[in-house]
Amino acid sequence: MALEKRYDILSAELQADENEWNSLSREMPELKHVRNELGALLNYPKRVAEERAAPRWTRALRAIVTSREGTLAVQGLHARQMAGPPGACELRVVGMSSGPQARITADRFRLQIEQELRRGQNSASVKTGFLRLADMPDSPSAPTNQQRVTFEIGATVGVENAAVFRDAVGY
């Protein structure tokens, strides 16, 4: 009799455990989803800190600002984060140069940008080139020995075979 009673008790416990398992297993996908959301929420500050610490194109913008000469006017600057290694970006600088050697000044500006971008880029590839370099018509108010050119410089950091250079001048 005691053995039958023990069997009945264990059978009832087994049935209760199976019922609980069935109930929990139906809720399992939802619980996994909640756990993943909670994990993402708890990791948010860490992800934000990592995002802020990752190199971006701020260095590239700083390079452009520090490279500008007095006879140069930067009229537009466009930067775009690219997929790839940290800091990969594509830049376009639109401007005008004037003076007796306006084309040389514009090219020096391009080279200075390239040199500044290469600093601190470890092994990331850096490429610059003129997307446009054109003489401006003579101005009646400008001295006769003053050239004026407009330019658009393209630059990439950490991007191989960038589309920006497909139609570049001299490439």
Domain ranges of the chain: 1-53, 58-165
Residue type, 68: R
What count of other Cβ atoms lies within 10 Å of the Cβ of residue 133? 20
Its pTM stands at 0.58
Supply the pLDDT for residue 74: 86
Is residue 96 over pLDDT 80?
yes
Phi (first) and psi of residue 19, to 5 degrees: -65, -45
Amino acid at 34: V
**Who's near 143: CB < 8 A, 6+ residues apart?**
none
Let me know: does 111 contact 127? Beta carbons within 8 Å. no
Residue 166 pLDDT > 50? yes
Taking only the tens place, the pLDDT of each residue in 26-84 is: 777 777 777 788 777 778 888 777 766 665 566 666 666 665 666 788 888 888 877 77
User: Is the CB of residue 84 less than 8 Å from the CB of residue 57?
Assistant: no
Q: Is the CATH code 3.40.50.970 the one for domain 58-165? A: no
Burial grade of 163 (CB within 10 A; 0-12, 13-18, 19 or more): exposed
Instruction: Please name which of 84, 80, 83, 74 lies closest in space to residue 60, comparing C-alpha atoms.
Output: 80
SS3 109: helix
What lies within 8 Å, CB to CB, of 46 at 6+ separation is none
CB atoms within 10 A of CB 109: 23
Q: By the 8 A CB rule, do 110 and 154 touch? A: no
